[in-house]
Amino acid sequence: MFNAVRDLPRLREISSVLIRYGLGDLVRGTGIATLLERAGQILQWGEAKDVAHLEPPQRVRLAFEALGPTFVKLGQMLSTREDLLPPAWTTELARLHSDVPPVPFDELLPQLEEALGRSPFEVFVDLEREPYAAASIAQVHRAKLTNGTPVILKIRRPGIEAKIDADLRILAYLARLVEREIVEARLYQPVQVVDQLRRSLARELDLAVEARNMERFARNFADDPDILVPHVYWAWTSTVMNVQEEITGIRGNDLAAIDAAGLDRAELAARGADAVLKMILVDGFFHADPHPGNVMYLPGNRIALIDFGMVGRLSPGRRSQIIDLLTGLARHDEQAMLDVFLDWRGSDAVDESRLAADLGELAFDFADVPLKDLRVGVLLHRVSAILRDHAIVLPADLTLLFKALISLEGLGRQYDPEFRLIARVKPFLDRAMSERYQPVEAIRRGQSTFSDVLGLVTSMPRDLARLIKDLRQGRMRVELDLKRLDSFGARLDSAIDRGTIGVMTASLVIGSSIVMTVPGGPTLFGVSLLSMFGLAGYVVAFVNSLWIILSIWRSGRN
């Protein structure tokens, strides 16, 4: 939960960075400036002249890089959301990187000793104090086990969890504020985006989760000698550190070394693509960031996958939707594609006829494209554009899938200019469609459907009895969730109050005018009491008029 006092220093730091990169309007629009001014914090609103020539997406990227790991991860996640953001933004945010200096090893020692129960130098041999690699959340050190086995230690940066927690609290508060106050921003679902970011960072902060991911991938590829996954040493793995086998090979981005070693680039591209497609369409559990830095190549054109902090999961139902979408596109079946899109839209209204027309146009545009010229990246960009045009939010688990496929195609083309990902996809689709109509699978689906129908029928009398009982006892309720209803009620009460006082003021003016025109009547010290009452009525009416004018002026400002 956001706490203004506790999180104020970080909130001021975030505001200062945004202002420095020319995003002061964002600070004002979200209400951060008002909050800081009430707290007595001073903001320097000077113009950011050094970035004034940059486009907004570039300024946002630079600001996110300056704000640290939470915002870098947020930007990287948004770079996959072409269903929410236009290509200019996603392309720029995809360039996000986090160049951070390594933490001195002495600062890592306390948490290492706590995790291991003793000094790491008693557990490992030749433990290198200089990091082998450093990132925003963790850094890597090389060492050896006592039996001489080379390992790497992936160690979480100390204090990073508290900073990320503060950032997430602030982002959650701002997301709720923006979604409540800015109608146009609701299309981008800021609360859902922050919630997705929280879950992603929670998994990346727990290095034991990454170790479990590695073991699952190792089981999935146990029968494939060409795909390697590092072994995990659980005896020394914990939340703050995982210890894994060190794999020595050629980095995926070192093309010169790949050629010098005599490896076959085309074979590497094909094997890598088949491995990722198996993860997606068969296992439903895939490496979500297959870029060259997360791949190593070994003799015999073997491939080793590393860094499993970002993974994606697809349920059987979601895999079935992906197969239906790709098959519908291949067969120019717009109805099949429409059914998938309607499943993704949830409960939101959509113009089905216009959506069907757009999908028909998509199928027509790709109908005559030769397989060798069809790019999955271009296809996914078109699908994302249709989603964005119809305000359909892509399910969160599919954003990582789209990112993985686009990264995979780029990696394959880097090794082999003739690489066509769609050609590698087709055998998997044919296999999936064939299995779908096998007798065993048909019987399994039939049993599942029969169980659902039977469950519905058997539970219906009980549910109906409960409904009637609640109705008889007056406990039946209809809940309406209307946004900003409380605010509307308060404004309605205020308007009624002003109207009532206005009527009373008009009555006082009319009554006082009548009283002051009546001759005679009692006097006090020679002054007519009727005239005094009339004058008092005018004074009260004048004060009421001032109050109504001030109230209307204040409500206009709010």
Looking at the annotation, which residues are catalytic? 289
CA distance 52 to 206: 39
- Name 113's Cβ contacts closer than 8 Å, sequence gap at least 6: 119, 120
Q: Which stretches within 473-528 are classed as H helix?
A: 485-516
CB 82 within 8 A of CB 384: yes
Q: Which helix (H) or strand (E) holds 414?
A: helix 396-415
CB 153 within 8 A of CB 140: yes
Closest CA to 230 of 244, 209, 242, 240: 244
Whole-number Cα distances in Å, 375 to 282, 325, 370, 400, 485: 22, 16, 10, 18, 48
CA distance 525 to 201: 84
Range 275-312 burial, b when 16+ CB lie within 10 A, else e: bbbbbbbebbebbbbbbbebbbbbeebbbbbbbbbbbb
CA distance 284 to 278: 8
Closest CA to 247 of 259, 233, 229: 229
Local structure of 326: helix, strand or coil: helix
